[in-house]
Amino acid sequence: MPKQVDHAERRELIADAVLAVVARGGLEEASVRHVAAEAGVSVGMVQHYFRTKDELMRCALERVGARVQARMGEGVETPREMLRALFRQLLPLDEERAREGRVVLAFLAYATVRPEVGAELRADSSALRAHFAAGVVGSPLSPEVAAAGLFALLDGLGVQVLSGQLSVEAALETFDAFVELVLPLDI
């Protein structure tokens, strides 16, 4: 009887290997050979599941997104709570989040020179900002401007922490102060 193969499990194994390779050595290290070695599988298996480096990178980024969503959990109801929960997931508060942050930064850099990858990223970012903006009430700014500014702040502070230019505590204090300015009501 032929062996049953869980294709979703194999894709996750390979995506996790991409995360590990990119977090450790950047995109330059994300070759099929390095990913296969990290996953403990053959180069042919990686190529069977992912025909291009773009596919590998998209899958790895989706894996990061799924992990972040899983950690955010329940109980996030207001835009302020959602932003704080998201921010805490993006900051390198532990090794897992630091690794994911490095992968996201590498992917963002990769997407700037790969228009087709950048288009998907822009669509995802637009949807997230629109979702947040839909819940903004009581801000002196328009919902769209509030969403764009706060997500830019999230990104910028995350980069500052990941690069060692700012402590986690200082980033959280800065973020909370700006959220209070933009969303003065506890909505």
Domain contains 101:
yes
What gap in Å lies between CA 147 and CA 141, rounded to an integer?
A: 9
- The answer to whether residues 99 and 20 touch, using CB atoms and an 8 Å cutoff, is yes
Domain contains 164:
yes
Domain contains 75:
yes
Domain contains 1:
no
Q: What is the dihedral of CA 71, 32, 25, 57, to 10 degrees?
A: -40
Domain contains 11:
yes
What gap in Å lies between CA 44 and CA 141, rounded to an integer?
A: 52
* pLDDT tens digits for range 5-22: 788 899 999 999 999 999
Q: Residue 39 — pLDDT band, cuts 50, 70, 90?
A: very high
Number of domains in the chain: 1
Confidence (pTM): 0.77
Domain contains 2:
no
Its domain, for residue 54, covers: 7-182
Q: Supply 25's token pair.
A: 């050595």
- The answer to whether residues 90 and 97 touch, using CB atoms and an 8 Å cutoff, is yes
Domain contains 187:
no
Amino acid (1-letter code) at residue 176:
D
* pLDDT tens digits for range 53-111: 888 888 888 888 888 888 877 667 777 777 778 778 878 888 888 888 888 888 888 88
> Residue 46 belongs to a domain with what CATH number?
1.10.357.10
**Quick one: pLDDT at residue 186?**
53
Domain contains 95:
yes
* Residue 146 CB partners (closer than 8 Å, separation 6+): 133, 136, 139, 182, 183
